Amino acid sequence: MDLRYNPELMVIGDSLAQGCRSLSVSQEFCWQSYGARISSTLGWPFVAPDHPRPVCFDAEALIRKSGLIVDLLSAFIIISKLKKTVKKNLKSWQKDLARGEPLSKHLCFDNIGIAGTKIPDLMQRSAASSIAEAESRLSDKDLDECSIADIASLAASLHIPFNAAFTLNPSMKKKYASWSPMDWVEQRRPKRLIVQTGHNHGLFNVGFSASRSLISYASLDGADELALRLAKLPEETGEIYWMLLPKVSAVANLIAKGSLNDGYGEEYRSAFNPSAAQPLAGTELAAIDRSIQDTNEAIMRRFREIFESVQPGNAKRLWFIDTYELLTKYDYKNTGIEEKIIHAGKQRINNRRLDGKSSYIGRPNMDTRKRKRGGKLIDGGFQSADGMHPSGVGYAVFASDIMHFMGMPHDRQKLLVKAFKEDRLLDRYPLQLDSIFSIIDLLQKFEKDPQQEPSLKLQEKESMELNEFIGFMKQSLQIE
């Protein structure tokens, strides 16, 4: 129950720092983040957030528990069940935070990444401000009377405050209620600090919605202030690692169409966001990638200047991990180059969208209704179901590359194989995921031609539920 002064490693930032997968945050995912993998491999004590429940849902668990979607009618039936699950989750978080009693046996965590946050949140957001934000959003809401779309909207707006309230003050002690992530770092003074942030300043929208947004250092509000606070950390924090912005064209959610030319397809569409109006041309995406590279150069130049302004020689403890190059190294989707495939034992992993094949487990002559369905991953696997955040294996790859950068010897294959087995979406690929992808593909067509009616004879009530289902799909995926 102590603060563990001067721990071996701390991690701060946003969803990639926290270990978010499939747009979800949970105890399981946080304990499979790259910070946790690094510490476990090297034998360092490391406490990751042990959320009492997911925030605000566990998409992967819902995928595994859902039935197969064979038409739009079965789709919104499943979404109705999802509504109940999410509503119960929101009520539980609301009740826990209002009670103000400890939600964990730990006073603090070594990983205080918070999915969905921006750079200023690392210096300004606290448990107290997050609880106040949640109370404000819920003050005039009766969860029992909310529609599917309303629940989705609430889950999206409460994701950050619920997550931050717990992550920043799991003991719910008044003493720590006003501490921000940087306050925790300054008080605990870790020997090594990893910072990964900036993705929610426009980059996430490019990868998720195929938006046309060039990235620049000027768009990273608060970067100078954060660099100054990092530069002023005492000498006990001997190593500060800044994770640069990633190559957005490499995310699985942006599906390439047409022939590949110089590492880009002719155009890209967002697999998980049907509301993305127009495909993104390959030339446009290439320009966005170049703007990310330019921004990374500006980050390194500006941060070194700020560190040196605090004290000559201070920049020697500042290290930049080239996340852009890391994703380029594994970008099989845009190149088709076999050497970019990742191997976790015999399993091939790449950065294309998750795909699997079905199989039946049981005697050949067994009634098919009694056989147990199973599935096997045949494509993708580097990123989770949302096509944006890494999978369990993806985070293990990050951990391995970071340890290599730090000069820490480890067994890479052992790490990747373990991560694959622990990622239940990869090791036991659910057939339901394919049906969900199919329904999203159908929504893509529905968005392009709203006059096209689904091939179902729906009653008025069912049509209303279908519209709510489409609204839910649009809103619930817009977490960051």
Helix (H) or strand (E) holding 327: helix 323-329
The answer to whether the beta carbons of residues 146 and 91 sit under 8 Å apart is no
The DSSP element (H or E) to which 379 belongs, if any, is strand 372-379
- Provide φ and ψ at 109, rounded to 5°: -120, 155
pLDDT for 3 equals 79
How many of the other CB atoms lie within 10 Å of CB of 34? Answer: 26
The pLDDT value recorded for residue 414 is 98
Q: Please state, in angstroms and rounded to a whole number, the distance separating the CA atoms of residues 321 and 403.
A: 11
**Residue ranges per structural domain of the chain:** 10-476
CB under 8 Å to 335, separation ≥6 — which residues? 260, 263
> If the chain, 480 residues long, is cut into consecutive pieces of 10 residues, what is the mean pLDDT of each piece?
84 98 94 98 97 91 67 62 87 96 96 97 98 94 83 89 98 97 97 98 92 95 98 97 98 94 92 72 97 98 98 97 97 96 97 80 45 75 95 98 97 98 90 64 51 44 49 47
Q: Kindly tell me the number of DSSP H helices and DSSP E strands found in the chain.
A: 18, 12
- Nearest CA among 137, 197, 171, 166 for reference residue 17: 197
For residue range 84-96, list pLDDT tens digits in order.
888 999 999 999 9
Q: What are the pLDDT digits (tens) for 295-328?
A: 999 999 999 999 999 999 999 999 999 999 999 9
Characterize 126-152 residue by residue with b for buried, 16 or more Cβ atoms within 10 angstroms of its Cβ, and e for exposed. bbbbbbebbeeebeeeeeeebebbbbb
Strand partners, 373: 360
CA distance 287 to 268: 13
Residue pair 177/125 in contact by the 8 Å Cβ criterion: no
Distance CA 304, CA 295 (A): 14
State the Cα torsion 126-230-37-477 to the nearest 10°: 50
